[in-house]
């Protein structure tokens, strides 16, 4: 290739980085479906394919620097992809596993324990008061902690 010839875009780098971005930001979408909610296999697949393309793009950039672009931007995109994967893995496999188990939560149909809480006006309201005024009370328990 002559010295003045234009270099080709290294699409492996860009597509790999976009797939890593998709793996990082798409869990909220995949969490809607039971098959991908508990274990993020779709996100990990996006990270894996993106990582493979980033590595191939780096080999192209450094193996044929006169033909393909990416000797400067390639390592930057690869490091960003690794950091996204590391942060995603840390949050999903470590931080979210620190949520206490819901073993003490009432099950469907089980009688709720007696409690008293403040309403929006600061007045105390107990479960006994609510059930004495009405036949049914709907309770929603949210798992988690603040």
30-44, 47-61, 122-136: lowest mean pLDDT where?
122-136
Quick one: 52 and 37 in the same domain? Answer: yes
* Verdict on whether the full-model pTM lies above 0.85: no
Helix (H) or strand (E) holding 61: helix 41-63
Q: Assess if residue 6 is contained within a domain.
A: no
pLDDT, mean of residues 94-116: 79
The domain in which residue 76 lies consists of 11-98
Quick one: 112 and 83 in the same domain? Answer: no
Helix (H) or strand (E) holding 126: strand 124-126
Inform me whether the pLDDT recorded for 100 exceeds 80.
no
Domain boundary among 98, 113, 134: 98
Inform me whether the pLDDT recorded for 83 exceeds 60.
yes
Q: Which residues contact 117 (CB under 8 A, 6 or more apart)?
A: 124, 125, 126
pLDDT at position 137: 82
Quick one: 77 and 92 in the same domain? Answer: yes
d(CA 121, CA 37): 38
pLDDT, mean of residues 90-107: 81
Q: What percent of the chain has pLDDT over 70?
A: 91
d(CA 91, CA 115): 34
Q: Residue for token digits 């007045």?
A: 123
How many independent structural domains does the chain possess? 2
């Amino acid at each position: 290739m002559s010295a003045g010839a234009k270099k080709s875009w290294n699409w492996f780098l860009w597509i790999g980085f976009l797939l890593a971005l998709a793996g990082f930001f798409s869990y909220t979408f995949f969490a809607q479906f039971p098959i991908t909610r508990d274990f993020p296999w779709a996100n990990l697949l996006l990270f894996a394919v993106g990582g493979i393309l980033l590595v191939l793009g780096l080999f192209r950039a450094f193996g044929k620097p006169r033909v393909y672009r990416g000797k400067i931007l390639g390592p930057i995109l690869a490091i960003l992809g690794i950091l996204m994967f590391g942060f995603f893995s840390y949050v999903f496999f470590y931080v979210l596993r620190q949520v206490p188990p819901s073993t003490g939560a009432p099950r469907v149909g089980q009688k709720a324990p007696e409690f008293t809480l403040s309403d929006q006006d600061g007045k105390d309201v107990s479960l006994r008061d609510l059930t004495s005024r009405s036949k049914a009370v709907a309770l929603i328990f949210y798992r988690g902690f603040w």
